[in-house]
Amino acid sequence: MEGRATASTPAALPYYVAFSQLLGLTLVAMTGAWLGLYRGGIAWESDLQFNVHPLCMAIGLIFLQGDALLVYRVFRNEAKRTTKVLHGLLHVFALIIALVGLVAVFDYHRKKGYADLYSLHSWCGILVFVLYFVQWLVGFSFFLFPGASFSLRSRYRASHVFFGATIFLLSVGTALLGLKEALLFKLGAKYSLFEPEGVLANVLGLLLACFGGVVLYILTRPDWKRPSQAEEQALSMDFKTLTEGDSPGSQ
């Protein structure tokens, strides 16, 4: 693009990324199938409003959030700033879709007169939302907003990556709790009779856990990190920011 040398992509990485996308799309499709086959489908202005919640969360807080984490592994030779913007945008889409899912369940509870925020699923869910929003705001301030110094960015980077992965894993755990809750409230003791809905939802749960595991594997393989020439280019861009008015001593 700008005369830089391009680094080769590790041989196995594309297969793992493809597998993660297959898992992610399958789990979204299976969530849709579960809601369509056993829960009457989806609508906003009826009892089906509840079903907007699991579908939005599967798309936003699982699939899109997972993909946002993979951006730096997939786009290895593009300009760092382009990759950053894509990473930030995918998280914004994930957050907006998840917010629709959140409004759906609160609105449904209000119309039905059900209590809010009593279950472990809801407590974990609120925790995920707060952490996700704070992580996005802090990430934006440090990495996309031009004010943060190079040293500050470097020091924050490791925490950003750790909390990003942790929030994603907590999202997967929260989705599993929600799935279990939805199953037990409807099936009760019939769950033990291997009802088709129960088996389908169990498989969906395993898919959720596998998607989390594969994304984590791709993220944590040290030799699959974005190659150093791209990092070095970013470093020079950061130094450019630094010399254009940022204070090296700022905290």
Nearest-5° angle of CA 164, CA 167, CA 173? 145
In the bound state with its own copies, the residue whose beta carbon lies nearer, of 107 and 181, is 181
Residue 166 in the binding site for its own copies (CB under 8 A): yes
**Residue 234: CB partners within 8 Å, gap ≥ 6?**
80, 81
**Nearest distance in Å: CB 37, its own copies:** 18
What is the total count of residues that contact its own copies (CB under 8 A)? 41
Alpha helices in the chain, H assignment, sequence order: 13-38, 52-57, 65-74, 80-112, 120-139, 150-187, 196-220, 228-243
Rg, the chain, Cα only:
21
**Nearest distance in Å: CB 166, its own copies:** 6
Per-residue tokens: 1? 């693009």
Residue 130 in the binding site for its own copies (CB under 8 A): no
In the bound state with its own copies, the residue whose beta carbon lies nearer, of 92 and 206, is 206
User: Residues 75-114: x/- map of binding to its own copies (CB under 8 A)?
Assistant: ---------------------------------------x
Instruction: Say which DSSP state 170 is in.
Output: H
**Nearest distance in Å: CB 154, its own copies:** 13
In the bound state with its own copies, the residue whose beta carbon lies nearer, of 154 and 247, is 154
User: Residues 227-246: x/- map of binding to its own copies (CB under 8 A)?
Assistant: --------------------
Residue 206 in the binding site for its own copies (CB under 8 A): yes
How far is residue 237's CA from residue 235's CA, in Å, rounded to a whole number? 5
| Residue 7 contacts residue 227 (beta carbons within 8 Å) | yes
The DSSP result for 197-225, as a single string, is HHHHHHHHHHHHHHHHHHHHHHHH-GGGS
| Residue 27 contacts residue 63 (beta carbons within 8 Å) | yes
In the bound state with its own copies, the residue whose beta carbon lies nearer, of 6 and 228, is 228
Residue 1 in the binding site for its own copies (CB under 8 A): no
**Nearest distance in Å: CB 82, its own copies:** 27
Q: What share of the chain is helix, strand, coil (3-state, %, to 5)?
A: 80, 0, 20
Per-residue tokens: 74? 């997939």
- Rounded to an integer, what is the distance from CA 47 to the centroid of its chain? 28
Residue 121 in the binding site for its own copies (CB under 8 A): yes
Residue 120 in the binding site for its own copies (CB under 8 A): yes
Applying CB under 8 A, which residues contact its own copies?
A: 114-115, 118-121, 123-124, 127, 158, 162, 166, 169-170, 172-173, 176-177, 179-181, 183-185, 188, 191-194, 198, 201-202, 205-206, 209, 213, 216-217, 220-222
